[in-house]
Chains A and B, each alone.
Chain A
Amino acid sequence: MVNRTIGLLGNPNSGKSTLFNRLTGAHQVTGNWPGVTVERKEGRVQGKPWMLTDLPGIYSLAAYSPEEKVAASFLEDTPPDLVLNIVDATALERNLYLTLQLLEHNLPTVVAVNLCDQLDRQGGKVDCDALSRRLGVPVVPISARSGKNMGQLLSAMEKAAQKAGINRPDRLQEAGEEAEKNRYETIRMLLDGVYDSGAAAGRVTERLDRILIDKYLAIPIFLLVMLLMFAAIFGPPGMAMKAAAERGVEIISRGMETLLDRAGASWWAREMAVDGIWAGVGSVLTFLPQIALLFLFLTLLEDSGYMARGAFVMDRLLQKTGLSGKAFIPLLMGFGCTTPAVMATRTLERERERRLAIRMLPFFSCGAKLPVYILFTSAFFPKNRGLLVFGLYILGMTLGVLWIRLTGGTEKTRDAPFLMELPPYRLPTLMGTMRRLWDKCKGFVAKAGTVIVSLSALIWLTQHLTFSLDWTRQASISMFGTVGEWLAPLFQPLGFGNWQAAVSLLAGLVAKEAVVSSLAALYAYGNTAGLSTALQQAFTPASALSFLVFVLLYMPCVAAFAAIRRELGSWRAGLWAMAGQTAVAYAAAFLVYRIALLFWPV
């Protein structure tokens, strides 16, 4: 079926993903590169029997970060039939550096000059035919965003692939300092008379930067953006969406009951399905709108180019922790989900910085913990909900930095070099944003459909069976309750020594959403309003605060742990990080509880 493989290669921010989506449409498969956790995206080119592989964005074939190594080794180990090299017309000099390297390696290449419309607007122009003659490979001007010239690009690719192996320039260069200089010298000659960049750097970017990274305004604006993001998620918009989702879950719950009744299901089947599984899944699904909103903000920040500005502004602060502004992006992603954020640290070049960032990440509260915060703050502190959740996030970050400084400061090395491109601001496309948002939400929903379903069923069963395998209606004498009773004394000093809290924390190790779903199942209420009332009886404000702090800080879920262990390279380092994390959580929750007791005595 597929008779040709094509690798898509280009600088970061050259519009690679947009072109990939444009060429493959809906036929995409995401997975990981063998052996590493860098995302691998593949797709069938629409209307052609070609498999297109999206490679990580790189500036050069000399590989520094693990992500860049993936691209380099892909070309070496499984050379594609054709390389589709996308270059940014507004920064052609720098972009052609990679192109030259590709040609030096004798790879059959088609060059797609993207953002030609942008170049036009800033008064520049490029003669692609002349450039093609000089390079000796097809050069096609395109606009990935509007889809201009896609037909021309496809036919150029078809032709190039057919005669792959002949008529390719042979300009192999030795590596090292001379080669780097020579390539730019070659580019200068190649572009002489065929390229005019017009007004350098878009005027819009210039104007926006004047405000957004102004000496005095930059930090207030950055904080405002963060605050807005939180206000939208936890304020009226987010809460209204959540309420709607809750109504939906409730309606389905009723429907299931009626349906199962009519079908004549036995009591345990009905209860397990409705009060066990659906209660668990439903309570997690009600948080989907807010999590989607969080991912939407992160996606917009990244695609618009603001994220890089954030990294630029925050670099000085992060330097003190041994990190660089580049680590800011994985850390921000950590607010969404720790697992992909841990993988995102692969963009960091220095191993030491990478390890520090990985160990700091679990302190950045992930999206799956949000349900717990919302549930408890709504039940106990409805007036100061937003502020309190914001405070939790700040607490996590602060403790993370302190913890890393305390434990990571042993080896003194030079700071990581910080070299980062600030891409021009671009308006994110609706399609691109929606696609990425969907990719991320899909993961969340899939988890609700698999992990949470099986976990909810397991919890319900262990909750209704004793260790001698008798059915019971009394959760406290069930397997679940018994294990909880063993664990509960551990948490007595933290103020929540009830067995329900203990086992929900245990369930949270599988997935943090499960803390809420197991609490919901344990109190056997399908809707969260009833759950709040039950919690108000089981917890005091002081113990609720302590519980929140513990959930914020204790070891992440198994998926994140697996990623952390893999990226740190050893079980010992992974387990050590988890133990430290949980110790910090215990100590912090203990302190918070004792202090809170002064305000809300039992």
Chain B
Amino acid sequence: MECTLDQVPLGEEAVVLQVENESLLGSRLREMGITEGVRICRKRQAPLGDPSIYMVRGCALAIRNADAAHILVRPAHISVAGGFENRRSDR
């Protein structure tokens, strides 16, 4: 059931499994709160298809599809196993 963040359907929530450690981008993403176990929701897509807005830790972040492809996630609605979760549901 794993996929990358850019494949998450609009309006769906996912749990981050892994952020690829791609030099600058990786740590930037983690600093903005995209760490393992956090819930992230794909809210909206730009009119021209790229980037998309994701809600994470109460903030709206715009991330390009190419960059989102470096983030491994699983759907949130399947078993909530281990790790910590954002206490908040974004939908």
Residues of A whose CB lies within 8 Å of any CB of B are 59-60, 62, 64, 90-94, 97, 176-177, 180-181, 184-185, 188, 197, 200-201, 205, 209, 213-216, 218-219, 311-313, 315-317, 319, 325, 349, 415, 417-424
Contact = CB atoms under 8 A, between A and B. Distances in A.
Nearest to B43: A209
B28 to A, nearest CB: 6
Contacts, number: 124
Contacts of B58: 90-94, 197, 200-201
7 contacts: A64-B24, A91-B58, A200-B55, A200-B90, A313-B48, A415-B64, A417-B28
Contacts of B66: 415
Contact of B32 (A59, A201, A216, A319): A59
A334 to B, nearest CB: 22
Interface of B: 21, 24-33, 35-36, 38, 44-51, 53, 55, 57-64, 66-67, 84, 86, 88-90
B33 A419 contact: no
B57 A94 contact: yes
B62 A316 contact: no
A449 to B, nearest CB: 42
B27 A180 contact: yes
- Choose among A94, A181, A311, A419 the residue with the greatest number of B CB atoms under 10 Å from its CB: A419
A317 B48 contact: yes
B7 to A, nearest CB: 18
A59 B33 CA distance: 10
Given A62-B31, A316-B51, 13 more contacts: A62-B27, A92-B58, A201-B55, A201-B58, A205-B60, A219-B47, A312-B53, A315-B64, A418-B62, A419-B29, A419-B61, A419-B62, A419-B63
A325 B62 contact: yes
Contact of B28 (A185, A219, A312, A419): A419
Contacts of A62: 27, 31
A423 B62 CA distance: 11
B15 to A, nearest CB: 14
Contacts of B30: 177, 180-181, 184
B31 A201 contact: no
Nearest to A11: B59
Contact of A417 (B21, B24, B47): B24
Given A177-B27, A417-B67, A418-B67, A315 B33 contact: no
Nearest to B45: A215
A381 B35 CA distance: 59
B53 A180 contact: no
Closest 6 CB pairs of A and B: A316-B48, A180-B30, A422-B60, A93-B57, A60-B31, A218-B47
Nearest to A416: B64
Which of B30, B46, B61, B62 has the most chain A CB within a 10 Å cutoff?
Answer: B62
B44 A91 contact: no
A310 B57 CA distance: 23
Nearest to B53: A422
A215 B44 CA distance: 9
Counting chain B CB atoms within 10 Å of each CB, the highest count among A64, A91, A184 belongs to: A184
A438 B55 CA distance: 36
A426 B30 CA distance: 27
A184 B24 CA distance: 19
- Name the residue in B29, B35, B36, B89 with the highest tally of chain A Cβ atoms < 10 Å from its Cβ: B35
Contacts of B64: 315, 319, 415, 417-418
Given A325-B62, A417-B24, A418-B67, A181 B35 contact: yes
Contact of B84 (A64, A188, A315): A188
A507 B88 CA distance: 61
Contacts of A181: 30, 35-36
Contacts of B35: 180-181, 184
Contacts of B61: 419-422
B44 A209 contact: yes
Contacts of B46: 213, 218, 312-313, 315-316
